[in-house]
Structure 1
Amino acid sequence: MTAQTARTAPSATAVRGMRRKALWVAQILLAAFLLIASGLPKLMGQADAVESFEQIGWGQWFRYVTGVVEVAGAIGLLIPRLAGLAAAGLIGLMAGAILTQILVLDPAWSAMPAAFAVVFAAIAWDRRAETRELLRSLKR
């Protein structure tokens, strides 16, 4: 590596900062989606949400539970101390959504929760120190 390359290459701290900013943008966008386009329609009984959960066959109580988990996850994504834990929990929700799409609803739509799960995994990984500290504080 030349002296010129060393001066122009971003430091590890700068790269970490850029990555954290990009993940914050993703967290905000995903939280908005989960809250506005997914969780609230389930909780408010939007017709297509009711119909989807009828097709799933677990009853409308499951629609409410899913809506509450999505809203809680959206809020958690916006709180730095909770973001990693929320992202990890949302990975589980997305795994269920993927399986439901493949096995019950429309397999083509399983790509969307799969893509979300990848982003949630990146958020959970990036926030692992905060999650570890949160879990330690709960043990005390």
Structure 2
Amino acid sequence: MENTFATKQSAAPARSRVIGVVLWVLQALLAVQFVIGGLSKLLGDQLIVGMFDAIGAGDWLRYLVGTLEIAGAVGLLIPVLSGLAALGLVALMVGATITNVFVLEADATMPAVFLVVAALIAWGRWSRVAELAVRLRR
């Protein structure tokens, strides 16, 4: 009985390490995607400009979304901010998914995938969000 308990105890830190590595890989990959997307919006890629024209909100929304995407990408790479950044990106991707489906009538697969990945990161880094909230209350 003791041997099984010891095995479970030693497996927990190993599993935790694996989850931590997987989260960092997801964070890095998502950060790259959001930097690329954010820069394309800020630098005025014609395809992106046309998409935001079709939305009808003007350039201000394109600049805002591009800035939020880059800020979220940077936040994903800062340990204390990673969970909060992921939550922000979840909100951004909810908006993008809804906009693609109901306004642009376009395929929403990519924003939905990014939403799910950001949600997984936010869930995996929830303790960091809670820790940040405690720090800010002081």
TM-score by length of 1: 0.89
Q: Which residue of 1 aligns with 2:129?
A: 131
Q: Which residue of 2 aligns with 1:86?
A: 85
Q: Which residue of 2 aligns with 1:58?
A: 57
Q: Structure 1 pair 112/10, CA: closer, same or farther in 2 (3 Å)?
A: farther
Counterparts of 1:23 and 1:53, CA distance in 2: 32
Structure 1: tracts of 5 or more residues without a match:
none
Asked if 1:25 is matched to 2:25, the reply is yes
Q: Which residue of 1 aligns with 2:112?
A: 114
The structural deviation recorded for 1:8 is 9.5
SS, match of residue 107 in structure 1? coil
The structural deviation recorded for 1:9 is 10
Cα deviation digits, residues 60-114 of structure 1 (max 9, x gap): 1000000000000000000010000000010000000000110122432x12111
Asked if 1:40 is matched to 2:28, the reply is no
Asked if 1:105 is matched to 2:89, the reply is no
Letter of the 1:67 counterpart: G
TM-score by length of 2: 0.90
Structure 1 runs, 4 residues or longer, greater than 6 Å off: none
Counterparts of 1:106 and 1:42, CA distance in 2: 20
Letter of the 1:63 counterpart: R
Counterparts of 1:24 and 1:130, CA distance in 2: 14
Cα deviation digits, residues 42-68 of structure 1 (max 9, x gap): 001111111110000011100000000
Aligned residue pairs, count: 136
Residues 6-21 of structure 1: pairs in structure 2 closer than 5 A: 11-21=11-21
SS, match of residue 57 in structure 2? coil
Counterparts of 1:68 and 1:78, CA distance in 2: 16
Structure 2: tracts of 5 or more residues without a match:
none
Letter of the 1:69 counterpart: L
